Amino acid sequence: MKMTSIRSLRLLCLLPFVTGLTWFSAAAQPRPVPNPQLASKDLNARVDALLNKMTLDEKVGQLVQFSAGYATGPGASNLKYDELAAKGQVGSMLNVVGAEATNHYQHIAVEKSRLHIPILFGQDVIHGHRTTFPVPLAVAASWDPEAAETVAHFGAVEARADGIPWVFSPMVDIARDPRWGRIIESSGEDPYLGSAMARAWVKGYQQGDLGKPDSAAVSVKHFAAYGGAIAGRDYNAVDMGEITLRQVYLEPYRAAVEAGAATLMSSFNTINGIPASANAFTLTQILRKEWGFDGFVVSDWGAVAELINHSIGDGPTVARKALVAGVDMDMEGNLYGTVIASQVRSGKISEGVVDEAVRRILRVKFALGLFDHPYTAQGPAYDATPERRAAARKVADETFVLLKNDPVEGVGALLPLAAKAKKVALIGPLADNQRELLGAWAVTGDPKYVVTLRSALAERLGDRLLYAQGCDFLSGEDANVLKRVSFSGPDAADAHLPIPDDAKTIAEAVKTAKQADVAILALGESTNWMEGEASSRTTLGFTGAQQQLLEAVVATGKPVILVVLAGRPLELKWAANHVPAILEAWSPGVEAGHAVADVLFGDVNPSGKLPASLPRAVGQEPLYYAQLPTGRPAHGDLSHLPQNAGEKFMSRYMDEENSALYPFGWGLSYTRFSYAQPTISRAEVPVREVLGSHSKPVTTVGVDVRNTGSVAGTEVVQLYLRNTAASVEQPVRELKGFARVTLAPGEQKRVEFPLGFDELNFYNAEIKRTVEPTTYKIWVGGSSLATAEASLQVVE
Ligand code: NOJ
């Protein structure tokens, strides 16, 4: 049985237990070595030998990254890169894609510069490179780390073929507020799931060996806590206590570093008043001293120069602060290139600081084998081979979450469709739009490879499929709003956003629905315009006339299946009340149509579970299941229980329930699963044993899970804990284990979850990870509403 469990505090393993204290001292630990390749003596000897030959200007050149090609941020420098590369002043480039383009600059750097140091090319490879897979939030919905590994592996292989050995992925930011458009790039709201995914992405890209010709170094982003932006507004400040920072937001970065991540990207936000890109606490104290990170840190695009806007100094000052705090490379902005050398010469920055940053960058270049193999062979043009398509389809199949599948009178459950449907009306702006189905961060993906829902359903239904677009994503007014913030400028917005005649197209769609036995509505968001970076929203409903379209089709009385295609949790309350079947399908990538059809027709039994809570109303945000308790709980421990309308002075809203519409971990199947009473191998464990267990399990929770339906299915079995008596209050529930279990009809399997220090610890008031005598409530089930219960006593 495949089991995922954070056994990640390896650094604590070597620690002696400090008698009489209930915490470990971080300072006493031997320095952890997350990536032995970067620590290798031979490699470091080569680095030092080269460093000794470098002039100050050549050193600073290694700290600079330019975007030549296209821009993925504001204000690209547009300098003469050929000349700079020949002088050894281009350490790295981004957005240069393909053997020809990368070799062009590489030949100059390697053949014309004095020390022949190769350029490190980096690129946003987020959900595949040429082959576009589902977006990361969708991958997280699979609760299958192997799916993330697959996406990363293909991304690395294809990026390498394009001359790119360094990918700006994975994004491991915890995202608890879907107003923030970048939730699409994350693994959602939970640190445990996020950490499991973070490890898998790193493993898939780096394959445990940066020297392999088809592995790529990762850049784990955005360090740190970028996802905690106040009010979900992108680039906004982050303000949170250190315990939440460490216990929730930093956990997935730590997991990625422990998995050997070669680089990290520093973020745009401030953390408790100190900008993350000049934050010595996170970049040096935590990252390097506590976690032993040996790779390098690149800033996000222009983040060093933007420190001026954060009002922490002028150009030279902020560049110095960033470098000294631990940002080794300046992505675009080009501040390091212009103001660091002079400050070293005037004695404001010690050359040792520059040397250390250069060392870190050269280490990664050597580990990647760039000095021995700087060029990329021109291969055949990209081909979306059946093997790659099959991988994209398999991953997409696992990512869909069946939110609802209520029986319809006289028809039964609408899904799976199977042979039931004689005529199917497919309606909606996402039914047949290749670009939109690709997803938000597919910079190198090509929409022409996308199989849309319309073409995939037509393959199965032929002329039994009817189609109407119904409306666009935007009404005229929305289009005007979005023009102001469009990525490619107002003119491009005009060109791409037709002002639709919604009344006419909705009437056509209604007519189409009336001719069919069932209507499938493909609604959601424009990934192009509304998702990803700089795409925060204040509302979470369907945009444009989509809601009107949905209501109009439902009003026909035809049974409706809603397929939601979006990179963020949307507000689906109306749909949940009026539509019998809802499938959350995210942004599925090149095999979108085939994968959606696989699930609609029951060839694949849906197994995805929500990685982020779906709200009833946007005003509940940030909404997440692992809330801290309140002194005035509205409904006891769990906010999903029915509301008591008589409770006035309680922690609740006047106009809405506290609970999620569909909670974290939620997802139905075409079969049903039953859970027996969980058992625990030891129900009582002395606290000293847990503290001294060095991450080894001290007890095991076991549960029998049975498929009680008539088709095979995969259940994601989830284990949640509550520490009921800690010195620092703990969430009402926390995920601490999960396993994907495939069961034939009638089959039963036992799933076991080991528990030890890793699962039971928390940060105490001294900011030390600890375990104290307490009772842990334990629940096992198919979502964060799990009810099968056990308990564990940790005693004196
Ligand atoms: C800015 C984004 O925040 C980051 O995720 C991305 O990697 C860089 N731009 C480079 O495109």
Instruction: Report how far residue 606's alpha carbon sits from residue 584's, in angstroms, rounded to the nearest whole number.
Output: 10
- Three state DSSP letters for 247-271: HHHCHHHHHHHHCCCCEEEECCCEE
Taking alpha carbons only, the member of 34, 35, 27 closest to residue 10 is 34
Taking the CA of residue 221 as reference, the ligand 1 atom at the shortest distance is: 5
Instruction: Report how far residue 391's alpha carbon sits from residue 213's, in angstroms, rounded to the nearest whole number.
Output: 21
Test site for ligand 1: of 65, 167, 168, most ligand atoms within 8 A of the Cβ:
168
Instruction: Report how far residue 328's alpha carbon sits from residue 345's, in angstroms, rounded to the nearest whole number.
Output: 19
Higher pLDDT, 20 or 708: 708
pLDDT at 646: 56
Residue 771 and residue 794 in contact, taking contact as beta carbons nearer than 8 Å: yes
Q: Look at residue 73 and tell me whether its pLDDT is greater than 90.
A: no
Residue 642 and residue 658 in contact, taking contact as beta carbons nearer than 8 Å: no
Write the single-letter amino acid at 674: S
- Three state DSSP letters for 540-596: CCCCCCHHHHHHHHHCCCCCEEEEEECCCCCCCHHHHHHCCEEEECCCCCCCHHHHH
pLDDT tens-digit series, residues 568-613: 999 999 999 999 999 999 999 999 999 999 999 999 999 999 999 9
pLDDT tens-digit series, residues 628-649: 999 988 864 445 555 555 567 8
Instruction: Report how far residue 385's alpha carbon sits from residue 455's, in angstroms, rounded to the nearest whole number.
Output: 19
User: In angstroms, what CA-CA distances link 221 with 180, 225, 256?
Assistant: 16, 9, 10
- Cβ-based neighbour number of residue 602 at 10 Å: 14
How remote is the CA of residue 301 from the centroid of ligand 1, in Å? 6
Torsion of CA 248, 253, 259, 265, to 10 degrees: 170
In sequence order, the β-bridge partners of residue 679 are 702
Angle 92-57-323 from CA coordinates, rounded to 5°: 65
Place of tokens 């389809």: 393
Percent of the chain residues past pLDDT 70, beyond the cut: 91
Taking alpha carbons only, the member of 571, 576, 583 closest to residue 616 is 571
DSSP code per residue over 112-145 = ISTT-PPPEEEE--SS-SSS----HHHHHHTT-H
User: In angstroms, what CA-CA distances link 429 with 212, 218, 511, 667?
Assistant: 43, 35, 16, 25
Lining residues, ligand 1, CB within 6 Å: 72-73, 94, 124, 168, 221, 300-301, 533
- Cβ-based neighbour number of residue 229 at 10 Å: 24
Q: Look at residue 504 and tell me whether its pLDDT is greater than 60.
A: yes
User: CB-based contacts of 83: which residues, under 8 Å, 6+ apart?
Assistant: none
Taking alpha carbons only, the member of 177, 163, 173 closest to residue 122 is 163
Angle 516-520-525 from CA coordinates, rounded to 5°: 145
User: In angstroms, what CA-CA distances link 182 with 168, 224, 234, 479?
Assistant: 14, 14, 8, 21
Place of tokens 């037709």: 498
pLDDT tens-digit series, residues 737-765: 999 999 999 999 999 999 999 999 999 99
Three-state SS for 47? helix
* Residue 140: CA count within 13 A, CB half-sphere: 36
3-state class percentages of the chain: helix first, strand second, coil last, to nearest 5: 35, 20, 45
How sure is the predictor about 78, in pLDDT bands with cuts at 50, 70 and 90? Answer: confident
How remote is the CA of residue 69 from the centroid of ligand 1, in Å? 15
Instruction: Report how far residue 594's alpha carbon sits from residue 393's, in angstroms, rounded to the nearest whole number.
Output: 7
- As a whole number, the mean pLDDT across the chain is 92
Instruction: Report how far residue 361's alpha carbon sits from residue 206's, in angstroms, rounded to the nearest whole number.
Output: 16
Residue 105 and residue 572 in contact, taking contact as beta carbons nearer than 8 Å: no
How remote is the CA of residue 254 from the centroid of ligand 1, in Å? 20
pLDDT at 642: 54
How sure is the predictor about 72, in pLDDT bands with cuts at 50, 70 and 90? Answer: confident
Mean pLDDT value of segment 434-453: 95
Q: Is 607 left (phi over 0), alpha (psi -120 to 50) or beta?
A: alpha
Write the single-letter amino acid at 606: P
How remote is the CA of residue 469 from the centroid of ligand 1, in Å? 33
Residue 710 and residue 762 in contact, taking contact as beta carbons nearer than 8 Å: no
Taking alpha carbons only, the member of 265, 274, 261, 272 closest to residue 302 is 265
**Beta strands 274-275 and 270-271, pairing class:** antiparallel
Instruction: Report how far residue 366's alpha carbon sits from residue 364's, in angstroms, rounded to the nearest whole number.
Output: 5
pLDDT at 12: 33
How sure is the predictor about 27, in pLDDT bands with cuts at 50, 70 and 90? Answer: very low
pLDDT at 420: 65
Tell me which H or E stretch contains 749: strand 748-756
* Residue 577: CA count within 13 A, CB half-sphere: 5
Q: Look at residue 39 and tell me whether its pLDDT is greater than 80.
A: yes
Taking the CA of residue 95 as reference, the ligand 1 atom at the shortest distance is: 11
Test site for ligand 1: of 94, 124, 183, 299, most ligand atoms within 8 A of the Cβ:
124
Write the single-letter amino acid at 550: L
pLDDT at 487: 54
pLDDT at 7: 40
Taking the CA of residue 168 as reference, the ligand 1 atom at the shortest distance is: 7
Instruction: Report how far residue 86's alpha carbon sits from residue 499's, in angstroms, rounded to the nearest whole number.
Output: 50
Phi/psi of residue 129, nearest 5 degrees: -105, -85
pLDDT at 407: 95
pLDDT tens-digit series, residues 368-393: 999 999 999 999 999 999 999 999 99
How sure is the predictor about 1, in pLDDT bands with cuts at 50, 70 and 90? Answer: very low
Query: Which DSSP symbol is given to 534?
Result: T
User: In angstroms, what CA-CA distances link 584 with 189, 283, 322, 397, 668?
Assistant: 17, 37, 41, 12, 11
How sure is the predictor about 479, in pLDDT bands with cuts at 50, 70 and 90? Answer: low
Angle 50-54-58 from CA coordinates, rounded to 5°: 120
How remote is the CA of residue 185 from the centroid of ligand 1, in Å? 11
Tell me which H or E stretch contains 756: strand 748-756
Q: Look at residue 286 and tell me whether its pLDDT is greater than 70.
A: yes
Enumerate the active-site residues: 300
How sure is the predictor about 481, in pLDDT bands with cuts at 50, 70 and 90? Answer: low
Taking the CA of residue 72 as reference, the ligand 1 atom at the shortest distance is: 11
Test site for ligand 1: of 95, 331, 487, most ligand atoms within 8 A of the Cβ:
331
pLDDT at 69: 79
Three-state SS for 642? coil
Taking the CA of residue 267 as reference, the ligand 1 atom at the shortest distance is: 3
Three-state SS for 737? strand
- Cβ-based neighbour number of residue 235 at 10 Å: 17
Q: Look at residue 275 and tell me whether its pLDDT is greater than 60.
A: yes
Q: Which of 20-24, 438-442, 449-453, 611-615 has the lowest mean pLDDT?
A: 20-24
pLDDT at 648: 74
CA nearest ligand 1 atom 11, residue:
72
pLDDT at 70: 78
Q: How far is CA 99 from the centre of its chain?
A: 29
pLDDT tens-digit series, residues 114-162: 999 999 999 999 999 999 999 999 999 999 999 999 999 999 999 999 9
